[in-house]
């Protein structure tokens, strides 16, 4: 992608510009007075967001993250699509689909009347996608950077046959120490424990979610609002969702972090993932010419 051409067509003087980032990947930098943000056009991935009232970034990105074609970037908010987790058909395709490892197209960048900035990115089927997933689609991601960060992922089925998807906004939240945070809002929800060997165990959550070992859970029938309480960074992160009744909470803990080349051994303490998803029993069928919208809004508040 030509950075000069992107700036000429979509740049907003003093607010939004395109730059060449790590791995020579094109990035969108936003600084609109309400917040600063960094978005990778490759993967359609928000990598940083910091409201002007905050002292820390909302998001975590690993120092060892890959910034290279066909590799996922560890951190920020990856878009998992058209499947979440392992290949659902066991065909050897990569985990979490292909949207997070392809370049997206910039369709619009604009300043909103309320002072926020809206970015619209898109991904459409081509020979590469149809070779691994034989459907016709248009995928749109709207990112609004303001006093809150809002993402809306819309899938449109442009083909003649229905298709089924699972998907997710795989948010990595920066925390002071994962062992001291609490995820509120999931009390009483059943979850599938993916960290247990063999058959998945189904357990009912009692109280807030805390991290005292590996956490890899799919919660079902979850409420539309969740909250991460982080006493060390003295903040709450509120998560408001639309059209998602499943949520994944993930922290790799010590051994899994050590086994990942794109995580530092101590990174498990630096983040927790609370992911807005459609997965497990929540499989979405989209009819021909139909559409489905998954959305999340993130707000930083003082704590306590």
Decide if 275 is catalytic. yes
- pLDDT at residue number 201: 80
Cα–Cα dist 270/14, whole Å: 32
**pLDDT given at position 30:** 98
Q: Which residues of the chain have pLDDT under 50?
A: none
Taking residue 162's Cβ as centre, other Cβ atoms within 10 Å add up to 13
Sign of the torsion angle spanned by Cα atoms 47, 211, 260, 104: negative
Q: How far is CA 214 from CA 160, 209, 268, in A?
A: 43, 12, 9
Given this model, what pLDDT does residue 197 score? Answer: 67
For position 287, what pLDDT does the model report?
A: 98
Model pLDDT, residue 8:
98
Residues 82 and 168: beta-carbon distance below 8 Å: no
Predicted pLDDT at 304: 85
Phi and psi at 262, nearest 5°, equal -100, 20
260-276 core/surface letters (b: 16 or more CB in 10 A; e: else): eeebeeebbbbbbbbbb
The per-residue pLDDT for 258 is: 97
Phi, psi at residue 98, to the nearest 5°? -115, -10
Please tell me the predicted confidence (pLDDT) of residue 78. Answer: 98
Active site residue 170: yes
Q: What is the pLDDT of residue 173?
A: 99
Of 33, 32, 28, 34, nearest to 7 (Cα)?
Answer: 28
Cβ–Cβ < 8 Å for 149, 185: no
Is the pTM higher than 0.75?
yes
Q: Which of 142, 170, 214, 282 is catalytic?
A: 170
Annotated catalytic residue, options 96, 142, 214, 275: 275
């Amino acid at each position: 992608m030509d950075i000069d051409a992107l700036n000429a067509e979509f740049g907003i003087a003093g607010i939004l510009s395109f730059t060449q980032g790590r791995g020579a990947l094109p990035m969108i930098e936003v600084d609109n007075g309400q917040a600063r943000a960094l978005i990778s056009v490759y993967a359609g991935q928000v990598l940083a967001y910091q409201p002007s009232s905050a002292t820390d970034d909302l998001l975590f990105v690993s120092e060892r993250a890959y910034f290279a074609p066909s590799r996922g970037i560890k951190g920020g908010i990856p878009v998992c699509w058209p499947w979440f987790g392992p290949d659902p058909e066991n065909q050897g395709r990569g985990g979490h689909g292909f949207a997070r490892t392809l370049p997206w197209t910039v369709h619009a960048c604009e300043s909103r009347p309320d002072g926020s900035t809206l970015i619209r990115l898109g991904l459409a089927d081509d020979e590469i996608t149809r070779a691994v997933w034989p459907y016709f689609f248009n995928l749109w991601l709207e990112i609004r950077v303001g006093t809150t960060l809002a993402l809306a992922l819309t899938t449109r089925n442009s083909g003649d046959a229905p298709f089924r998807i699972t998907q997710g906004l795989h948010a990595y939240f920066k925390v002071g120490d994962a062992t001291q945070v609490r995820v509120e809002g999931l009390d009483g929800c059943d979850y599938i424990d993916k960290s247990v060997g063999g058959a998945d165990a189904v357990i009912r959550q009692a109280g807030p979610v805390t991290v005292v070992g590996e956490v890899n859970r799919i919660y079902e029938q979850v409420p539309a609002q969740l909250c991460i309480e982080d006493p060390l960074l003295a903040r709450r992160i509120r998560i408001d969702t639309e059209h998602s009744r499943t949520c994944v909470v993930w922290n790799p803990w010590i051994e899994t972090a050590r086994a990942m080349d794109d995580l530092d051994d101590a990174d498990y303490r630096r983040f927790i993932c609370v992911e807005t998803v459609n997965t497990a029993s929540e499989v979405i069928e989209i009819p021909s010419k139909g559409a489905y919208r998954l959305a999340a809004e993130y707000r930083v508040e003082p704590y306590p």
